[in-house]
Amino acid sequence: MSEGAAKKGEKPRKFQAIRGTRDLLPPETALWNRVEQTAHEVFGAFGYGEIRPPIFEATELFARGVGGDTDIVSKEMYTLVDRSEKLEPDPSIGSMNVFFQKVRELYKSGEIPTDEQDESALKIAEDQWKKVDDLLEGGLKSESAGTEIYKLVLFYDALRLGTRVSLRPEATASVCRAYIEHNMQQLPQPVKLYYIGPMFRRERPQKGRYRQFYQIGAEVLGGTDAPAIDAEVIEMVMTFFERLELRGVQLSVNSIGCGECRPKYVELLRAELLKVKDKLGPDSQRRIDTNPLRVLDSKLESEQGIIAKLPRIGDHLCKDCADHYAAVKRELDLRGVQYRENWRLVRGLDYYMRTTFEITAQGLGSQDAVCGGGRYDGLVELLGGPPTKGIGFAIGEDRLILSLQEARKEVASGEWRVASGKIGCDVYVAWMGEKAYATAIRAAKTLRAASFSVELPPVEQKFGKALERADKLGAKYALILGDNEVTSGEWTLKTLTDGSQQKVTEPQLLDFLRKL
Ligand code: HAM
């Protein structure tokens, strides 16, 4: 019997979506589709094309791209070993030595990436196998045989037998990988790409924070780092949010300098933080060492007064960065984009330089960042490509939807319910009798081909019941087809909002509905 099968008489296990993941259900999915359709339209209007990168990539790509010390890479990735195809499935104990030999060969040729730990894990497993092999020769008489075999299984399980792959925690690294892989630097620059899809981070779930969440993002790669590009990218997100009528949108911008000026500022910041170390919480204390910039992110009430007095990066930018930042702000003004400057906006990924920005919206509680982005000029090179400019953003689609829903709750208008597709039925075909059924199928086909949404009951219903159901579904019209209608060729169309009724012939139906 397979592992998952229920034993006789036992209730089969009920499954639930894994913590931090959820089902998106109708009618809410209609809103998701509307948001995504708007993204296609707005981003298309700005000259972006859609890219759909894979959902998993080499772990190394994210470790290098996003940064090994970031929370995302160090704690939050879903990683698994994609077993080398050159290895047979689980070997029997008798053929373990051949198997280990093969693993050694693959380590050596680099076909299975390896480090010191992997090598010593292999050695431990091999030694254990020898022990078990001896026991086998003795006919497994020793009392400890079971334990030793169990240990062998554990050591074997701990071996790395393939490449590490991770579910993507974000997509910027993937887009850069694709840019390099497909030689996009040969295309007219810059290349403008956008993506929509799920990302995975093992964070603590709460409102607006999930382990599988969705991003709508865009990246501009190649060409120059003209400040107008930064401003246009931001203008595009703001246009998108405006089109969706997102409420309470606040844009914060900052510049975090470049490889020239940032390290000097970080040292200065570290020195200042060391002076106040004992007044800081444990997280910030740790970050003085690992990444002092992240201290600026702190939301701890007790640290706010201290942080306010720290040196600000804006006062320590090199001339090029200061000029770039000033020009980005001018370009935003030219486009009528309203923003606030926030010198503490450093962002949690390693690849950023110069422009960083974040957008918050209403109704989201503590997780109110609905979009984050910035410039990352060194990233493509870091991933093995040519020196390439880059800037982009990602919108948290779950949060965007939450905010839209919160705003709509306030308005609570029936109109919105219809517009959002909550009620997805235009015509309910109420039919009775076999002859009418054939006509009903034909009518449904014609209406659906003309993009009306149609509900066709699969079994006969009395007209009263049918109309009740049509009402429940929020249908706008009921097309009533009984023997009379079929014989006379005159169908009855009932407008459910006001109860009025009219007769229409089959050829008139579409025109009639379109005019209403
Ligand atoms: P990020 O700030 O890590 O940036 O994520 C962008 C947005 O994704 C956040 O502002 C938030 O709305 C949403 N988000 C992040 N984590 C979660 C979660 N666990 N649950 C729900 N929503 C979440 C990036 O990912 C960068 N790749 C953005 C970028 C693109 N920078 C340049 N290009």
The closest residue, in CA terms, to atom 26 on ligand 1 is 394
Packed helices 262-275 and 282-290: angle between N→C axes, nearest 10 degrees: 140
Determine contact, residues 403/363, Cβ cutoff 8 Å: yes
Residue appearing with tokens 């407008």:
495
First CA to last CA distance, the chain: 61
- Ligand 1 atom closest to Cα of 394? 28
State in Å: Cα 82 to ligand 1 middle.
26
User: What integer best gives the mean pLDDT of the chain?
Assistant: 92
Mean pLDDT across the stretch 401-411?
85
Answer whether the bond into residue 507 is a cis peptide, omega within 30°.
no
State how far Cα 422 lies from the chain centre.
24
Mean pLDDT across the stretch 107-124?
93
Tokens of 136: 């086998």
Strands 477-481 and 390-396: unpaired
State in Å: Cα 230 to ligand 1 middle.
18
pLDDT digits (tens, 9 = 90+) for 35-69: 999 999 999 999 999 999 999 999 999 999 998 88
Question: What does the pLDDT read at residue 4?
Answer: 52
- Percent of the chain whose pLDDT exceeds 90: 81
Burial 314-350 (b: 16+ CB within 10 A, else e): bebbbeebbebbeebbebbeeeebebeebbbbbbebb
CA dist., res. 364 & res. 350, Å (int): 26
Cα separations in angstroms, 453 against 129, 426, 442, 464? 65, 5, 14, 21
Q: What is the residue type of 14?
A: K
CA dist., res. 228 & res. 235, Å (int): 10
Determine the residue of 77, 213, 350 to mutate for testing ligand 1's pocket, defined as the one with the most ligand atoms within 8 A of the Cβ atom.
Answer: 213
Determine contact, residues 374/259, Cβ cutoff 8 Å: no
Does any ligand 1 atom lie closer than 6 A to the CB of residue 209?
Answer: yes
- Ligand 1 atom closest to Cα of 371? 10
3-state secondary structure of 502: strand
State in Å: Cα 420 to ligand 1 middle.
25
Tokens of 39: 């993204």
| Residues 6+ away with beta carbon under 8 Å from 122 | 100, 103, 104, 107, 159
State in Å: Cα 170 to ligand 1 middle.
7
Answer whether the bond into residue 190 is a cis peptide, omega within 30°.
yes
Question: What does the pLDDT read at residue 416?
Answer: 41
Instruction: Categorise residue 433: left if φ over 0, alpha if ψ from -120 to 50, beta otherwise.
Output: left
CA dist., res. 144 & res. 49, Å (int): 63
Residue 348 pLDDT > 90, yes or no?
A: no
Cα separations in angstroms, 202 against 79, 117, 211, 283, 346? 11, 25, 5, 19, 22
Question: What does the pLDDT read at residue 479?
Answer: 97
Determine contact, residues 197/397, Cβ cutoff 8 Å: no
State in Å: Cα 352 to ligand 1 middle.
13
Residue 143 pLDDT > 80, yes or no?
A: no
Mean pLDDT across the stretch 161-184?
97
Residue 141 pLDDT > 80, yes or no?
A: no
Question: What does the pLDDT read at residue 140?
Answer: 66
Question: What does the pLDDT read at residue 431?
Answer: 96
The closest residue, in CA terms, to atom 23 on ligand 1 is 396
Mean pLDDT across the stretch 150-172?
94
- Ligand 1 atom closest to Cα of 210? 20
Backbone angles phi, psi at 418, to 5 degrees: -70, -45
- Reported as a pLDDT band with limits 50, 70 and 90, residue 281 is very high
- Ligand 1 atom closest to Cα of 359? 10
State in Å: Cα 400 to ligand 1 middle.
12
Residue 312 pLDDT > 80, yes or no?
A: yes
Residue 3 pLDDT > 60, yes or no?
A: no
Does any ligand 1 atom lie closer than 6 A to the CB of residue 303?
Answer: no
Question: What does the pLDDT read at residue 90?
Answer: 79
Weakest mean pLDDT among 251-255, 419-423, 430-434 = 419-423
Tokens of 194: 């956008």
State in Å: Cα 298 to ligand 1 middle.
18
- Ligand 1 atom closest to Cα of 392? 33
- Reported as a pLDDT band with limits 50, 70 and 90, residue 93 is confident
3-state secondary structure of 244: coil
Question: What does the pLDDT read at residue 424?
Answer: 65
Does any ligand 1 atom lie closer than 6 A to the CB of residue 393?
Answer: yes
Instruction: Spell out where 329-448 has E strands.
Output: 340-341, 353-360, 369-375, 390-396, 427-431
pTM of the model: 0.87
Determine contact, residues 255/317, Cβ cutoff 8 Å: yes
Residue 414 pLDDT > 60, yes or no?
A: no
Does any ligand 1 atom lie closer than 6 A to the CB of residue 215?
Answer: yes
- Reported as a pLDDT band with limits 50, 70 and 90, residue 138 is confident
**Secondary structure of 417-443 in HEC code, one letter for each residue:** HHHCCCCCCCEEEEECCHHHHHHHHHH
Does any ligand 1 atom lie closer than 6 A to the CB of residue 230?
Answer: no
Does any ligand 1 atom lie closer than 6 A to the CB of residue 390?
Answer: no
Residue 151 pLDDT > 50, yes or no?
A: yes
- Ligand 1 atom closest to Cα of 400? 12
Does any ligand 1 atom lie closer than 6 A to the CB of residue 173?
Answer: no
Question: What does the pLDDT read at residue 170?
Answer: 98
H or E segment to which residue 193 belongs:
strand 191-200
- Reported as a pLDDT band with limits 50, 70 and 90, residue 6 is low
